Structure formats: structure tokens, C-alpha cells
Amino acid sequence: MYPISLIAILLLNVFGLCQVQANTIWIIQKGISLKKTIAQIKDGDTIIVKKGFYQEGNIVINKSIVLLGEDYPILDGENKHEIFTITAPHVIIKGFKLQNCGNSSLNDLAAIKVLNTHHVQIIDNQLKNNFFGIYLSYVQNSLIKNNKVVSNATTELHSGNGIHCWKSDSLQIIGNTIEGHRDGIYFEFVTHSIIWRNTASKNVRYGLHFMFSNDDAYITNHFKNNGAGVAVMFTKNVKMFNNFFEENWGDAAYGLLLKEISDSYLLGNFFRKNTSGIYMEGTNRIKVKRNVFRNNGWAMQIQASCMENIIQENNFLGNSFDVSTNGSVVLNTFLKNYWDKYEGYDLNKDAIGDVPYRPLSLFSIMVEKNNSSMLLYRSFMVTLLDKSEKILPSITPDNFIDNQPLMKPLPL
Amino acid sequence: MFSIVRLIVSDIVKNKIVIVYTLLLAILSWSAFMLEDNQNKGILTLLNIILLTIPLVSILFTAIYIYNSNEFIELLVSQPLRRNKIWISLFWGISGSLLFAFLLSTGIPLILFADLKLGLIMLGVGCMITLICVAIAFVSTTFTRDKAKGIGIVIVLWLYFALLFDSLILFILFEFADYPIEKPMLFMVALNPLDIGRILILLHLDVSAMMGYTGAIFREVLGSITGILIAFILLILWTVVPFWISLIKFNHKDL
């Protein structure tokens, strides 16, 4: 498309004296085709792209090269192409602004797609208005770091995920910001990976969508105001530490949805202003420890299908309902939590209340059975019913109980 | 008209009960915020004051005051004054002093400690509930001459609005749980001013919970600016209609 004129700076390759395979740095600027340059160069070379506006359709990277953008050159997909397709290992893409990739209902077009490879690094790029942002499929040992992935999705059908990972292993997703996609980060069949310090907000569906992905950890992420919060499903051995789940509001919106999870840890997270802080279904043997639940509609909704979970040393502050459940079977343990609705006393001054606390109110069960009863919330009559139920539990399961409620909130 | 209002207000102030009421409310509201480390709990205490104490005091005090000033009203009627004017001044005299008591005692801590929007809504609801209860007391007293009967009616009405009505709603909700009754329920709620006030406050106090489930429907209807306006118009209707009925009754009453 553009006239070919390459400016090549040879670094080490001095008169062929050097026996080692030399690496070359290529500089691309306006008028030089990136696509054709890639076709010419060899493994290990570096391409520096100067500031500018480039429209080259789909750029396939099938060699182990380094692509560096200077002052964020713009690569435009003209709303019909996938921009980068990486199929080679050891590729680094850094410092680009990628925008307007194609939108298709047949193919998952992405700004950067990585297929069947390993050791790829995608660092410090700005992605704007793309269908899928970064798409990884069958990828190992790769790093996605400090990218800003922003789109303007409005419906689930016509949008793609921000960072989409499928059948991959040992990924590091660090410090990315994802906004306005379908799912912020999507994990399916991804193992031994870490999601750290990302921010996902205003996505149409989930901030983080996590399925069939064992042995992963997500730490210190911020999920705010996503359509339905965060979903972690059909997975074992997940570590969820120090994350923020905020302002996920709506009919089926959860700070965190745990479905069919087992043997996992939920430590030090902060749930604020969600319709439902944690919604648990078929969740077994997980430890919920040292989390803060503040100003949620429901701090935790634990369905009767959950077993052997330990909910210990959490702060429950200012929630409309602390806990609700849908059955009479209780196979979970509550211990040493701080409940701001606790009204007991502590005579022996060991900081643990002498009277057990029943976090399940009669009214929360009534709402669970009949949603419309929410209409009567905080009515004096309902408060009376709740009080008498607390003293003589007849409808609420009597083993739904914290035997050692704390008198003061934990310093979390 | 203004001089009659002034007469009544000065009489009420001399009576000292309203002053005690102001002090009590003030102590309750300040302590609600000062004693709890959790601001939310203070607001809940105030919510209960607005939904229980204020209606009870307003409705009882008004009823008793009207019965006691029977002779004073007869005296006024014998003067060249229109009955309309007398009755309206009486209404403003009583409700004005009760409103003043409420704003002075609860208003200040509410504005100081609560979130501004929520505080204003609660103040608005509290004022409207005071007016409504005064109006309801007015209409009840015009129906009977018997003081004991009149005060009895007023207490039953309070019980009905504060407790019985909600039980009735709960009963209907569970009896008709299989039908889509959310919207009809909203109309039903409009039949109880205390419930309208409570839901208005809830939508700001428990936003997160109200966003879920059918809460979303209530929020759609009542959470928007037009919804708040409609709710307040309903509350105003609840004041105007009973008072208007009492006015007609009073105009044609043989004292």
C-alpha cells in the first residue's frame, strides 16, 4: 500500500565479522509498511514504530520479534480487521494505541490475538473501542501488563471481552484497566495463573468471569460497577485475596458469585455497596476469612447447597441483611465474626460476646421466599416479628449461629 | 387569621407539653447519633421516631387539644369570623408548633450527621407525617363530641397505620405470592401515608438492597425525581383531603 523504503540501522552486524546471529532494530514511520517489514525481518529483531496513524489491516506476527511503539503510534482496524495476530513465541508488544478492530459474530476479532504459543508479553498498550481487547488461546507463560482496555459496549450480544483467556497456563495479568467490555477479564480453562492489581469497571456483564480454571489466584484487584459483579464458577483451588468489590447493583448482581467452587480461599477482601456481597451456590470447603462487608444489601447469600465452608473473623458493618439462605440445612461454620447488629454482652471481658449471635433474620427468610415483602422492610411490625424470632427461633434454622461473636470490629 | 394562629401558638407554648416534646425528641435524636459509632444506626433510630413517635404524639396531642379548646372555639364562632378561617387557623396553630418542635429537635442532628439528601428526605417525610396526623386528628374529632370516643378513635387509627396495615400487607403478599402483585402493592401502599414515607426513606437508606429483586420496581417507580414528587404529592393529598373533610363537617356542625 505504501511505497517501500526501509530505514534499517544495523547494530552489531559489522561486515559479517560477528559470528553470533545479530539482532536488528528497524524503524517504522509514516509511509513505511509495518506488514512488509515484518515479512522481511528475522527472529530476534526489534521494530520501533514512530508516532503516527497506521491502517494496515490484519498484522500477523509469526516471528519472535519485539515491537515497540514510540509515543503511542495509532494502529487502526477500520472497524473490520483484527489488528495483531501473534502466533510466534517470545513476542513483545509494547506502547501501542490500538483502536477500532472489527466486530463480527462469526469470529472473535480482537485488537491483539495470541494463538498457540508461549512467552508473549503485551505491555503498556492503550486499546480503545475494540470488539475483544486482548485474546489468548492456548498460550503459556505469558505476561499482560499495564494495558488500558476501554470500549463502549452496551449489550452482551454485540460486545467482546476485555482480556479473554482460553485454555492457557501460567499467565500473569497485572495492572490492567478494563472498561466497557462484556466481561472485563475472562478465564476459561486457564490454570496456574495470577490476576494482580487490575481494575475492571463498567463492564456490561462481569468484571471477572472465571470458569473451569483451577489453581489460580486473583489478588488486589478492583471490581466496580459491573453489570453483574464477578463470577467464579466450576473451579477448585482459587485464591482470592485483598480484592475490592464495589457498587454492583441490580436484580442479579453480586459482588462475588461463587458457584460450584471448592477448596478455595477468600481472604482480606472488601465488599461495599453491592446488592449481594457474596452469593454462594454449591460451594464447598472454602475459607472466608478477614473480609469486610460494608453497606451491602445482603452481605452473604449462602444457599443450602453449600457445605463445610468456614466464615471466620469477618466484619459485617451496615448491611441491610447480614446473611440469608434458602433452606433449613446449615452445614457451614460461622465463628468469631463481628456483626454490628449483635446486641449481646461480654461479662468476662474476653472481647467475645457471651450470647451466641443468629445472623439470619426472619425477615431475610421472608424476603427469600417472597421478594415483594421487601416492601415492608424496616416496618415496625416486621422489627417486632424479627425480635421475637431472635429470642425463640422457630422458622429460622437454630444452628445458623455464630457462637463466638466479637464485641469490637477487627482492625481490617 | 394570623392573630388567631398567634393566640393558639402562645397557648400551646404556655401549655409546655410541646416544649417537653421538643426536648425529648432532641435528646433522642442527638443521643441516637452521639452514642452509636455507626451513623446508620442513628438514622434507623430516627426512622423509628419519625414512623412511630411523631405520628402518635401529633395525632393524640391534636385530638386532646381540640377537645379542650371546645369552649375557645365556641367563643371564636360567636365573633364575626368565618368558620373556615377559625378552623384553618386552628390547624396551622397546632401543626405549626408541632412542625417547629420536630424541625428544631430532629432537624439539626439530621442535617449535621446524616447524608444531606437522605437527611432532607427524612425531614420532608417527618414534616408531612406531622401534618397528616394533625389532619387525621382534625377529621376524627369532628365526627364525635365524646372526648373519650374521639381519643379512642385516634389511637385506633394510629395503631392501624403503624402496625395493622403492615400486617395486612404482609398477609396479602403471602396469600397472593403466586401472582404478579408488585404494582398493585404499590397502589395499596399509597393507602398508608406512613408506608409511603417509610419506602421513600428506604430507597435512600438501603439502596443496595432495594436495587435487588422487586426492589428494582419500587426504585423505578419511587426512586426517580418524579417518583419522589409523586410520593410527596400523595402525602400532601393525605393532608389536604382529611382536613378538607373536617372543614366541611365543621362548617355544618351544630356546636
Question: CA-to-CA distance for A184 and A198, rounded, in angstroms?
Answer: 10
Look-up of cell digits 369570623 = B81
| CB B62 within 8 Å of CB B246 | no
Residue of B188, B196, B208, B222 to mutate when probing chain A, most A C-beta within 10 A: B208
Domain segments of chain A as ranges = 53-391
B216: left (phi over 0), alpha (psi -120 to 50) or beta: alpha
Question: Is B214 within 8 Å of A371 when comparing Cβ atoms?
Answer: yes
Q: Chain B within 8 Å of A362 (Cβ-Cβ)? A: no
Profile chain A (412 residues) by mean pLDDT over runs of 10 residues.
40 42 83 90 93 92 94 93 95 95 88 96 95 95 96 86 96 96 95 96 93 94 92 94 91 90 95 93 95 93 93 93 88 93 91 92 86 85 86 82 93 88
For A384, the closest chain B residue by CA position comes to B163
| CB A61 within 8 Å of CB A87 | yes
Question: Is B169 within 8 Å of A340 when comparing Cβ atoms?
Answer: no
Residues belonging to chain B with any Cβ–Cβ distance to chain A shorter than 8 Å: 38, 40-41, 44, 47-48, 51-52, 162-163, 166-167, 169-170, 173-174, 177, 181-182, 185, 189, 195, 198-199, 202, 205-216, 218
- Segments of chain B with pLDDT less than 70: 211-218
Nearest residue, CB atoms, B181 vs list A276, A372, A382: A372
| Cβ neighbours of A279 in B, within 8 Å | none
3-state secondary structure A133-185: EEEEEEEEEEEEECCEEECCCCCCCCCCCCEEEEEEEEEEEECCEEECCCCCE
A162: left (phi over 0), alpha (psi -120 to 50) or beta: alpha
Question: CA-to-CA distance for A370 and A278, rounded, in angstroms?
Answer: 20
Give the torsion through C-alpha atoms of B52, B53, B54, B60, to 10 deg: 100
Question: CA-to-CA distance for A207 and A227, rounded, in angstroms?
Answer: 8
**Other residues' Cβ atoms within 10 Å of the Cβ of residue A361:** 22
Number of domains in chain B: 1
Chain A, chain B: beta-carbon pairs less than 8 Å apart:
104
Please report the pLDDT score of residue A147 as a whole number: 96
Angle (CA) A360-A301-A249 rounded to 5° is 120
Question: CA-to-CA distance for A144 and B62, rounded, in angstroms?
Answer: 71
Span A53-391: which CATH code? Answer: 2.160.20.10
* ipTM greater than 0.90: no
Please report the pLDDT score of residue A19 as a whole number: 44
Provide the domain limits for residue B144: 2-251
